[in-house]
């Protein structure tokens, strides 16, 4: 296949160099975006009188035929082409003769690839955001069934305070909601057209950039032609948003791995989301959760690679930028696959409600509530903290829980006596369900607040589309 920049008068590239420079294996994925941008460009060329209107119409129609043939499989992208853009122009020339050669007037491959790639990135932001919303919906479905399912909350992997499973799942949702916002912001910033920027300085032809942007569906045109072909911020933003998203998925998957372990035993995973051992018949392994956790590292690495690739390139276009697409497409495939798998994981959770509740009976998770009980009786918090600490120490020494204390135990600190604390009253106050129900702050684990959070997220999902 001919090269757009080559004439027959010079020696051709060495085959090894030619293979090294080729990007067709990667950027063939942009063929439909390139067709869409090329059709808009052809329409504009005809409207501006740069080429005859009938030629523009022929180009648009032939591009539509090429698209249909590619979709049905009757036409394949030629692997010998230098890139997908060369393939399409060569195909148009093969079919239409000299008319096909007019398609490139007023544009460069620099703005051509920038436009097709930005169109793809904008779509990727929207597609991944939709999958994030599905992941949130999956979490909400399980949360709604477990609004009053008590379990320990942890800090430093130590049992800390009573919460509910629904509250824990909503913590995942909070991070995912921010991820959806980041992807929406990235899509909005990617919604501008580089087409018409040419190699870096535009064209002396009467190119109408606003017209092509409108035909493609971009909200605006880029404000500087040099920046238009140098800019890869949209790809970086998607990669960065994906990296943060994978942090959240990885942390949630770490929770799932812990919950499914024999040591925790808080949940099982159905066979839809767990695998067996090749040697130990009794085992079910949370492999999907572990692999999501592992694949997060690939996303982080690709983000770093894109940043390093771009940071040393002078304005405007440099061939280094060819490498962004392979990195980007791997990020896109990985994060979308992880989101789909995460949805299945969440739906496959089988909580052990009794085991979660029993875990609240060890670790003195009500200690903070002892201190707060005293605060309500007028005791300064730091004094109340010391009194609660001494009461816990007494219970540890006597190998009993805080809900087994007697009036004699309240003599460990004078604050209990000064506040007129009765052991029976305090024990009732320390019931885990009561401890959770009292936490009525916005975003807290109290069932009323959890229901409000679920309702808000359901409303947001319905309006987000």
CA angle, residues 284, 287, 292, in degrees to nearest 5: 155
Q: How far apart are the first and last CA of the chain?
A: 44
Backbone angles phi, psi at 143, to 5 degrees: -60, -40
Backbone angles phi, psi at 379, to 5 degrees: -85, 130
Per-residue DSSP letters for 140-192? HHHHHTTTT-EEEEEETTEEEEEEEHHHHHHHHHHHHHHHHHHHHHHHHHT-E
Which of 94-106 are b and which e, b meaning 16 or more Cβ less than 10 Å from the residue's Cβ?
eebeebbebbbeb
Given the DSSP bridges, would you call strands 267-269 and 220-221 parallel, antiparallel or unpaired?
unpaired
How many Å separate Cα 278 from the centre of its chain?
33
Which tokens hold the place of 352? Answer: 């052990």
Which tokens hold the place of 177? Answer: 């909601």
- What residues act catalytically? 156, 277
- Tokens 């692999």, residue? 291
Distance separating alpha carbons of residues 19 and 350, to the nearest angstrom: 52
374 by Cβ neighbours in 10 Å (0-12 / 13-18 / 19+) ranks as buried
Distance separating alpha carbons of residues 222 and 282, to the nearest angstrom: 60
């Amino acid at each position: 296949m001919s090269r757009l920049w080559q004439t027959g008068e010079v020696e051709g590239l060495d085959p090894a160099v030619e293979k090294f420079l080729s990007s067709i294996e990667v950027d063939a994925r942009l063929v439909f975006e390139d067709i869409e941008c090329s059709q808009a460009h052809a329409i504009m060329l005809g409207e501006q009188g740069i080429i005859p209107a009938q030629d523009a119409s022929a180009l648009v129609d032939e591009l539509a035929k090429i698209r249909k043939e590619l979709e049905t499989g009757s036409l394949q992208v030629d692997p010998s082409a230098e890139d997908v853009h060369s393939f399409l122009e060569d195909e148009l020339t093969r079919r239409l003769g000299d008319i096909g050669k007019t398609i490139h007037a007023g544009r460069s491959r620099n703005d051509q690839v920038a436009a097709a790639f930005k169109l793809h990135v904008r779509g990727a932001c929207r597609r991944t955001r939709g999958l994030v919303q599905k992941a949130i919906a999956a979490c909400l479905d399980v949360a709604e069934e477990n609004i009053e399912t008590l379990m320990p909350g942890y800090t430093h992997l130590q049992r800390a305070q009573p919460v509910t499973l629904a509250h824990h799942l909503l913590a995942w949702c909070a991070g995912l909601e921010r991820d959806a916002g980041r992807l929406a912001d990235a899509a909005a910033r990617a919604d501008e057209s580089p087409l018409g920027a040419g190699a870096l300085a535009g064209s002396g032809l009467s190119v109408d950039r606003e017209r092509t942007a409108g035909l493609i569906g971009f909200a605006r045109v880029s404000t500087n032609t040099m920046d238009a072909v140098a800019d890869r911020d949209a790809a970086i933003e998607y990669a960065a948003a994906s990296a943060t998203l994978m942090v959240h998925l990885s942390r949630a998957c770490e929770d799932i791995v812990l919950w499914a372990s024999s040591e925790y035993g808080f949940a099982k995973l159905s066979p839809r989301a767990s695998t067996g051992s090749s040697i130990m018949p009794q085992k079910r392994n949370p492999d999907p959760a572990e692999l999501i956790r592992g694949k997060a590292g690939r996303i982080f690495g690709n983000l770093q690679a894109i940043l390093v690739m771009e940071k040393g390139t002078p304005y405007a276009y440099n061939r280094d930028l060819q490498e962004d697409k392979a990195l980007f497409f791997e990020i896109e495939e990985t994060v979308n696959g992880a989101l789909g798998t995460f949805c299945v994981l969440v739906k496959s959770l089988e909580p052990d409600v009794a085991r979660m509740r029993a875990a609240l009976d060890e670790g003195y998770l009500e200690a903070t509530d002892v201190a707060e009980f005293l605060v309500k009786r007028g005791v300064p918090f730091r004094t109340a903290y010391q009194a609660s600490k001494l009461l816990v120490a007494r219970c540890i020494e006597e190998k009993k829980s805080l809900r087994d204390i007697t009036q004699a135990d309240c003599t460990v600190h004078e604050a209990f006596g000064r506040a007129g604390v009765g052991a029976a009253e305090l024990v009732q106050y320390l019931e885990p369900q009561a401890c959770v129900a009292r936490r009525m702050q916005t975003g807290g684990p109290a069932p009323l607040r959890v229901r409000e959070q679920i309702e808000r997220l359901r409303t947001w999902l319905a309006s987000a589309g």
